Structure 1
Amino acid sequence: MKLTDNVVRNFKVAKIFRENTDRINRIDFSTCGNTLISSSDDDSIVIYDCQNGTPKKTLNSKKYGVDLICYTHAVNTALHGSTKVDDTIRYLSLHDNKYIRYFPGHTKKVVSLNMSPINDSFLSGSLDKTIRLWDLRSQNCQGLMHLPGRPVAAFDPEGLIFAAGINSECVKLYDLRSFDRGPFTTFKLTQDKDCDWTGMKFSPDGKLILISTNGQVLRLIDAFQGTPLQTFMGFQNNKGVALEASFSPDSRFAFCGSTDGRIHCWNTETGVKVAVMNCDHPGPVQCVQFNPRYMMLATACTNMAFWLPYIDD
């Protein structure tokens, strides 16, 4: 099945999970698409089986809390930020719920955590106005950048470059092999007066960058030229929260949640809103991701919802 405007409009909630008692702060699909991992403000990590549509395992991190969870390249390990004790990043074995390694260094809350798509390196950005480059095999930071403001960061799909969004007004692109020499290009964008950038993602085809905010606007820019392509609006965010925005695997659609529990979808080529999808999410939908392998969408507030397309014959 190919993803079209009509298929998107026919997505319906197939299952709702109520495993959590507090906000789900991050979700991440495994590369194979078979499982989804989530972290929540209730200090729990839940792993879901995407093929059977069932919760598979729940782990607790009561001591450190858990935030920004993401899979590494091994499905049995994950990285996450901390909400208690300190701002150390932690590398967890999901098999036995034991920590493999700690990555200390940030002095304020980590707000961005991204695994490289090709190897063991990962990026972290913090409210201490730094971006750090790490390798899973060493607790020592491999690279450090000081920035003038809150950072957001993302790897491109090839894992050769990364983008850093700085001060909610410019995007700098760095070559990973020589990033200590500074950015090889900088895109200056018009600053939004009433919101900050809270997330950034490359499209799976590497041609676009989607910038999400804590306001009522998303920006889509050309990943090579920095040209503004689309501005997506018309969704509710009256609480100033960070709403995740994500691409479909074919890069043709962008999805974002809202504070009224609805999911909005736009066509990335035309900028036209394709669908507004209703679900009984009681709170702001801060996590939205499309499965990389299967025709399935996951959205989360306190509850987790799995969406599938229902096409009439």
Structure 2
Amino acid sequence: MDVDGGGNKRVFHRLGGPQSDPSKNQKVCFHWRAGKCNRHPCPFLHRELPPPPSQQGLNGTASSKRHHAFAATTDGPSARNRGPNNFNGGASSTWGRTGGTRVFVRKMEKVCNYWVQGNCSYGDKCKFLHCWSMGDSFSLLTQLDGHQKVVSGIALPSGSDKLYTGSKDQTVRVWDCQSGQCLGVINLGGEVGCMISEGPWVFVGIPDVVKAWNTQTNSELSLSGPVGQVYALVVGNDLLFAGTQDGSILAWKFNAVTNCFEPAASLKGHTLAVVSLVVGANRLYSGSMDHSIRVWSLETLQCIQTLTEHTSVVMSVLCWDQFLLSCSLDQQLKVWVATQSGNLEVTYTHKEEHGLITLCGMHDSEAKPVLLCACNDNTVRVYDLPAFSERGKIFSKEEIRSIQVGPGGLFFTGDGTGQVKVWKWVVEPAPTA
């Protein structure tokens, strides 16, 4: 019980003792939560209110504020083994349903500022988090420090034991995957807008050019043509596509004879910068600052549909099986599915309290599909698919702009401070009976 050293009766009454007045204010003191209430007596509660029955712990009693609990239930083997390649085609009946999936119990969702600075005196008794995540499914392995500005791209070339990170500090850093040490810094003379890897190649978008490195031959190429910053890169149908600041999408094709990339096409249609690209189902999907998504045929390179349901910048697009997922600063994540006519329509909309920045799909330690959604409140939400039940949350000092899947259950996040964190999916403890 939270009473003062002298066992003050007024405090005891305010905390809900037998003699407490039911007419008292049942609101929790904001200043007490922040650890600095100096009112004696305070008209508000100095304790957390018990959660409603649906939010209680696995044993029927309220869970500790600092404990992270999952309730795992199933509705048959299909619920336990659902993956991205066997989603039910009738998506409207499964997206957003929590039945048969984990339930994430929300707790105090704030990282202790004093802990971040290394001087919290409360230790385990602190009401705030002393870690950078909530949830039992993944853990932080290490962090890579060196970049001075936001990390805008992370890449792991095939066959390489190096990790590449690009930043708006105009550098690319090369890290040793075994030791975590920085092996080199490449100064580009321009802010890195994006970075991807394809086979042994690493592609980096900077203003007015795309840099290409072959990590096996150590060859370096510069692809000219973009106007302004290159915000997005993707490879599909043997073509390299770049989304640029002027709203165009440039395409190059690799010529093995001359060992260079030759201009192949320029896709016009967006009226503002193209900031996200993804390839799937023989289509190229582009998200733009003009609030639209355009669907392009990879065979003809013609726009075959324009999606206009978002009301702000379409920050990220992701293909998952027969679905297209998109997120925007309008705080909405939309799931699209093709109709019989072949056109995409929204089958489910997930709403957040903050704008969404980037999406990343992967599998957890049990090969179940998971979606990571970075929001502009400096967090990443972790959801089971297709139910969108919350698995956990990742916190950061500033916005997380880059998420990249690695081998062996690893994934990487890069934030606005220039820090790269390495995470690993872990085997979850068996649910309590």
| TM range, smaller chain | 0.7 to 0.9
**Structure 1 residues not aligned, in runs of 5+:** none
The residue aligned with 2:156 is: 29
- Please, which of 88, 96, 99 is the counterpart of residue 209 of structure 2? 88
1:122 CA displacement: 0.7
Pair 1:188 & 2:307 matched: yes
The aligned amino acid for 2:305 is T
Match of 1:72 among 166, 179, 198: 198
Supply the AA of the counterpart residue of 1:135. K
Q: How do 1:1-313 and structure 2 match up within 5 A? A: 9-31=136-158, 35-50=162-177, 52=178, 54-55=180-181, 57-74=183-200, 77-83=201-207, 87-94=208-215, 99=220, 101-116=221-236, 119=238, 121-137=239-255, 138-150=260-272, 151=274, 152-156=276-280, 160-165=282-287, 167-174=290-297, 176-179=298-301, 182-183=302-303, 185-186=304-305, 188-192=307-311, 195-203=312-320, 205=321, 207-222=322-337, 225-234=343-352, 236-237=354-355, 243-249=357-363, 252-278=369-395, 281-291=396-406, 293-301=407-415, 302-310=418-426, 311-312=428-429
Q: Residues 244-300 of structure 1, C-alpha deviation per residue, up to 9 Å, x if partnerless?
A: 21111468221022334322022331233332234xx22111112332x42122111
- Amino acid paired to 1:154: V
- Note closer, same or farther for the CA distance 1:33–1:11 as it changes in structure 2 (3 Å cut): farther
Cα distance in 2 for partners of 1:53, 1:220 equals 39
Q: Deviation digits for residues 219-248 of structure 1, max 9, x if unmatched?
A: 2222665232333333544xxxx7221111
Residues 147-198 of structure 1: CA deviation (Å, up to 9, x unaligned):
1423342212x7x432234532343131x2322xx23x42534231xx2112
Instruction: Return the alpha-carbon distance in structure 1 between the equivalents of residues 189 and 293 of structure 2.
Output: 37
Give the letter for the 1:254 counterpart.
L
- Contact 1:44/1:58 (8 A) holds in 2: no
What letter corresponds to residue 309 of structure 1 in structure 2? W
Alignment RMSD (CA, Å): 3.2
Larger deviation: 23-32 or 90-99? Answer: 90-99
Q: What TM-score, normalized to structure 2?
A: 0.58
3-state DSSP of counterpart to 2:299: helix
Gaps of 5+ in 2: 1-80, 84-100, 105-134
C-alpha distance in 1, partners of 2:399/2:245?
Answer: 23
Contact 2:102 2:389 in 1 (8 A): no
Please say which structure displays the higher CA radius of gyration. 2
Please give the alpha-carbon distance, in whole angstroms, between the structure 1 residues aligned to 2:188 and 2:155. Answer: 21
Closer, same or farther: CA 33–91 of 1 in aligned 2, 3 Å? closer
User: Distance in 2 between the 1:103 and 1:230 partners?
Assistant: 39
The residue that corresponds to 2:31 in the other structure is none
Q: Which whole-Å CA distance do the structure 2 matches of 1:283 and 1:196 have between them?
A: 20
What amino acid sits opposite 2:335 in the alignment?
Answer: L
Q: Is the CA contact (8 Å cut-off) linking 2:157 and 2:163 kept in structure 1? A: yes
Residue identity opposite 2:278 in structure 1: A
Contact preservation (8 Å) 1:37, 1:70: no
Q: Is the 8 A contact 1:71 1:115 kept in 2?
A: no
Change (3 A) 1:82 1:148: closer
Letter in 2 for 1:173: W
SS in 1 for 2:357: coil
1:165 and 1:172 in contact (8 A); partners too: no
CA 1:147 to 1:69, structure 2 compared with 1: closer, same or farther past 3 Å? Answer: same
Report how many aligned residue pairs link the two structures. 287
